[in-house]
Amino acid sequence: MNPASPVRPLRAGLAAALLSGSACVTGPEPPSAACTPDGEPLRVAFYAFFEPVSHSADEDPASPGFGVHLGYEADLLTALEAMNGARLSFERTPVSDWPGIWLMPSTSDIDIAGGGITILESRTRNEAGEVAVAFTSGHITFRQSLDG
């Protein structure tokens, strides 16, 4: 990701976005080497408590299992890393505080955020009202019902 860019992409639609939006390193490195312009893993912030979509193996932030990413989105990232020729690698960071997780890619510490984030135009703007992140197409749809 280009830190100089005024809008850093929020990759809610991980599969489509990562395959088309990242510049992969080339050469003899194994597929898990990396896929960023600077050769580093993409830094992913994931919401730690949105089971079964995205969650930590342990709910206790002090435990080692808190850093283990599980769920549907974790499986997508793992599948992308395993794809021949994709050369993707992800450094996953659990986030226990929901409000504002979608703005984390506007910082220099996180490239992608996920974990059941609904795509809303209001979530693209920072506190100053400036566009700070962009969403990709969603990769999962939920429907709510009063039927029991």
Local structure of residue 9 (DSSP, 8 states): E
Tens-binned pLDDT, residue by residue, of the chain (148 aa): 334 334 434 333 343 333 323 333 334 444 334 445 566 899 999 999 999 999 999 999 999 999 999 999 999 999 999 998 888 899 999 999 999 999 999 999 999 999 888 889 999 999 999 999 988 877 777 777 787 6
20/31 Cα distance (integer angstroms): 16
pTM for the model:
0.71
CATH domain 8-135 topology: D-Maltodextrin-Binding Protein; domain 2 (3.40.190)
